[in-house]
């Protein structure tokens, strides 16, 4: 995978991630396990054209689906961790939710970086 393809992959991945997560956010908010599984599956489906166009192995979609499910499933745990790290008494719940959501997005966007690092390390 050349540098141009890597840049296109990461840019498109971020775009598809935010688009898919935004379009499916109502499922995630309900927090039911079945809806969260459906949310993760639909989220992953959005990546099929990108992977097909760039020639990325579809097996990576399993990692994307699984990691998205785990990160979203553990959102409450992530909120508690962020709350403990920020331990400021003047932090409002809105601020803590924002910081948690930002951490959630960073974790989601680590996945394509892992994929790219693995692909470029292959001989």
Write down the pLDDT at residue 28. 56
The per-residue pLDDT for 66 is 93
Average pLDDT, the chain: 81
Would you kindly state where each structural domain of the chain is located, as residue ranges?
A: 3-121
**What is the mean predicted confidence (pLDDT) over 103-108?**
86
Q: How close are the terminal C-alpha atoms of the chain, in Å?
A: 11
Q: Residues 16, 53: contact at Cβ < 8 Å? A: no
- Residue 1: which of 99, 122, 120, 112 has the closest Cα? 120
Q: Percent of the chain, pLDDT > 90? A: 7
- Angle separating helix axes 33-45 and 3-23, nearest 10 degrees: 140
How many angstroms separate the Cα of 3 from the Cα of each of 6, 53, 104, 116, 119?
A: 5, 16, 27, 10, 12
Q: Using CA atoms in the order 47, 70, 39, 109, what is the torsion angle rounded to 10 degrees?
A: -40
pLDDT digits (tens, 9 = 90+) for 19-64: 877 776 666 555 678 888 888 888 888 888 888 888 888 899 999 9
Place of tokens 């990691």: 67
Per DSSP, 114 falls in state: H
């Amino acid at each position: 995978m050349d540098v141009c393809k890597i840049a296109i992959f990461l840019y498109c991945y971020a775009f598809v991630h935010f688009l898919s997560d935004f379009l499916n956010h109502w499922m995630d908010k309900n927090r039911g396990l079945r809806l969260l599984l459906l949310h993760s599956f639909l989220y992953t489906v959005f990546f099929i054209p990108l992977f097909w166009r760039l020639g990325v192995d579809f097996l990576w979609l399993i990692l994307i689906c699984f990691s998205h499910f785990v990160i979203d499933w553990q959102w409450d745990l992530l909120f508690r961790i962020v709350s403990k790290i920020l331990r400021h008494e003047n932090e409002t719940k809105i601020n803590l939710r924002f910081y948690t959501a930002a951490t959630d997005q960073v974790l989601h966007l680590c996945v394509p970086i892992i994929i790219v690092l693995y692909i470029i390390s292959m001989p």
